[in-house]
Each structure stands twice: as structure tokens, then as C-alpha cells.
Amino acid sequence: MEKRTIYFICTGNSCRSQMAEGWGKVILGKDWNVYSGGIETHGVNPNAIEAMHEVGVDISNQTSDLINPDILNKADLVVTLCSHADAHCPIMPPHVHKEHWGFDDPAGQPWSEFQRVRDEIKSAIEHFKHRQ
């Protein structure tokens, strides 16, 4: 069976979508190609890298990228992770399914917020896997 593609999108491709890409590769990697992108690029937040490292997931080689039209248009599922990305997500072909999974932005917040959002994203991806 050919791998499907999931594309996680948020505003800056800095925190939430980076963590989602990391968890997605760990949890869905056998069955899905996993990517992330942003409406803008803000660089990968060092606290997102550290939060994922804390649970044994290395996202230090991931990059903060603008939405790639090729990935977007070939994706099976696009998941927006914040309301800004949901509202500003580019138009997609009819075959691309879109879902919105809203998470708080941990950027600029206390360390515990990075941990909480990291764990919420993991739970959402695990729940998604069990829906398949």
C-alpha cells in the first residue's frame, strides 16, 4: 500500500507544527509521509526542540518552511493547528481533506506550556491514528 501524506500547518512553522511533524513521524511514520509548513517562517523554536527531546523525539534537523504548494496539492490530509492558519490556508484541490486541530501557541509562554502543548499534540495524533 502506498503511503499517504499528512501536512501539518500553523502560522510560523516554529512550535506546534514542528512538534506535530516530529510526533507524526514517530506515530504515523509507517503509513504516512509527514510534513509541516507555515503561512510564514519564524525558525524552529529552541524550546520546541527541547520539549520534544525531553520525550525522546529529535526534531533538531527539521526546518521552518513556508507552505509548499507541491506537498499541499498532493497531500491526503492537511491539518491546521491554529485558527490563523485555518483562516489563511491556501485553496486546495478537492481530493485534499482538511481538518482543524486547534492548539494554544506556547511561544513566549512558560516551559510548562511547551510540555502541555507537546503532550496534547501527541494525544491528538494518537487519536487520529486509531480513527484510521
How many domains in the chain?
1
What values do phi and psi take at 68, rounded to 5?
Answer: -95, 115
Q: Is the pLDDT of residue 124 over 80?
A: yes
15 part of the active site: no
> Could you give the CA distance from residue 33 to residue 72 in angstroms, rounded to a whole number?
12
Q: Is residue 123 part of a domain?
A: yes
- Marked catalytic residue, from 44, 57, 81, 82: 82
Residue 132 falls inside a structural domain: no
* pLDDT, the chain, mean: 96
Catalytic residue among 6, 9, 10, 117: 10
Evaluate whether residue 40 is within a structural domain: yes
24 closest CA partner among 53, 50, 48, 59:
59
Alpha carbons 18 and 60: distance in angstroms, whole number: 10
- CATH code of residue 122: 3.40.50.2300
Q: What is the pLDDT of residues 51-92, one digit of tens each?
A: 999 999 999 999 999 999 999 999 999 999 999 999 988 888
**Of residues 55, 89, 92, 96, which has the active-site annotation?**
89
In a domain, 39, yes or no: yes
Residue 73 lies inside a defined structural domain of this protein:
yes
Domain housing 105: 4-127
Return the pLDDT at 91: 86
Q: Taking 90 as the threshold, does the pLDDT of residue 111 lie above it?
A: yes
